[in-house]
Structure 1
Amino acid sequence: MKNINVPLNHTDIAELKAGEQVLLSGTIYTARDAAHKRMIESLENGEELPININRQVIYYVGPTPAKPGKVIGSAGPTTSSRMDIYTPKLLDAGLKGMIGKGKRSTEVVEAIKKYKAVYFAAAGGAGALLSKRIKKAEVVAYGDLGPEAIYRLEVEDFPLVVVNDIYGNDLYEEAEKTVKEYHPFNSPPY
């Protein structure tokens, strides 16, 4: 398992391969659909983004409120495909990593290759456990969006799996091929 830090650098990204497990540490940002829409509107209007996304990672999450004495509530990943229409423009603007769950569109996979970025998956259904790896959480933009606001998170050893790397490899595609190849229902009848 590799340890990597944010902001991401090209060397670290180039060494990551689909299927590899990593522990991520440093400052990351959260954003879901509504925040993505606003960021794209800002870019299209020639405005600065409310956060510096250069070499950064965005986690697709809408955390629940923190319980007393806790930094954050449950913080499990959101389905990433909901951000696919926005992702290529953010990658073009300097974003280098995304965390979520589920498969990305062909356009996003191509943009990941083009802009030399990486897509990680976090364990769905494990939001309470993942929140223990978040050491600090602060709303930094779009506070009116509630849980969909942009948070700055300080994470330590945040467990992830590389899904899409800069070489065009796709963990989900490989898994589908393996299932089709070895699943008994795909064998010819006897």
Structure 2
Amino acid sequence: MAKVYIETPLTSKDVLSLHAGDEVFLNGVIYVARDAAHKRFLERFENNEQLPINLRNQIIFYAGPTPPKPGQVIGSIAPTTASRMDPYTPAMFEYGVKGVIGKGPRSQSVKDACKNEKAICFSAIGGLSALLSDKVQAAEVVAYEDLGPEAIRELVVKDFPVLVVYDAHGKDLYEQEIAKYRKLVR
């Protein structure tokens, strides 16, 4: 397990250099999008339409930030349950998204898509919304403003902390850690 600093957008080399359990600090642009935006993305894919923004080689953070208080760039922001995006994630990876950030386990189809499409799933720790919002230097709604808190936002982040939970090599941090724990309790 390594501590790695990565500039976005991600390259295939970046993705292949990461392994389940790596601590990663992201720098650059990431995009916030949740269920409603993903549903619209999928509808556009199915109709052979362009997305409202280019997400190729980008990272999508599954979150719904609160409104900023005066003087803040963004309000509290924390990951939402990633499995809610499982119906959309393989198509997003096929489109060219290189990484996603959420919390909790993912389906086998998402794990397979990480390996097949050379993409990665990160996890951010829930409950640290104030810490994560401090890592956001700029925030702007870039699409689907009508979705309110679920609008797509472009964030500029500095040293945004995440863990690699599913890598492009087929490794699963949850399975690795459960196996370690089972050895300890036997």
**TM-score bin, normalised by smaller chain:** over 0.9
How do 1:27-66 residues align onto structure 2 when only pairs under 5 Å count? 27-66=29-68
Matches within 5 A, 1:91-130: 91-130=93-132
C-alpha separation in 2, matches of 1:86 and 1:159? 24
Which ranges of structure 1 fall in alignment gaps of 5 or more residues?
A: none
Aligned to 1:24, what secondary structure does the other structure show?
A: strand
Q: In the alignment, residue 97 of structure 1 is paired with which amino acid? A: G
CA–CA distance in structure 1, aligned partners of residues 179 and 105 of structure 2:
14
Partner of 2:148: 146
User: Could you report, residue by residue, the CA deviation over 1:29-77 in whole angstroms, capped at 9, with x for unpaired residues?
Assistant: 0111111001100111111001111100000000000000000000100
| Deviation at residue 11 of structure 1 after TM alignment | 1.2
Offset at residue 125 of structure 1 (A): 0.4
Deviation at 1:182, TM superposition (A): 2.1
Partners in 1 of 2:60 and 2:52 — Cα distance?
A: 13
Q: How many residues align?
A: 184
With normalisation by structure 2, the TM-score equals 0.97
Cα RMSD for the two superposed structures: 0.8
Distance 2:165 2:47 in 1: 32
State the one-letter code of the partner of 2:146.
D
Name the CA distance, whole Å, in 2 between partners of 1:173 and 1:33. Answer: 26
Greater Cα radius of gyration, structure 1 or 2: 1
TM-score, length of structure 1 as denominator length: 0.95
Structure 1 match to 2:138: 136
Measure the CA separation in 2 of the matches of 1:85 and 1:176: 25
In the alignment, the residues of structure 2 paired with residue 79 and residue 95 of structure 1 have an alpha-carbon distance, to the nearest angstrom, of 18
Displacement of 1:88 in angstroms is 0.4
SS of 1:112's partner is helix
In the other structure, the counterpart of 2:4 is 2
- Partner of residue 79, structure 1: 81
Corresponding residue for 1:69? 71
Work out the CA distance in 2 between the residues paired with 1:179 and 1:143. 44
Q: Which runs of 5+ in 2 are unaligned?
A: none
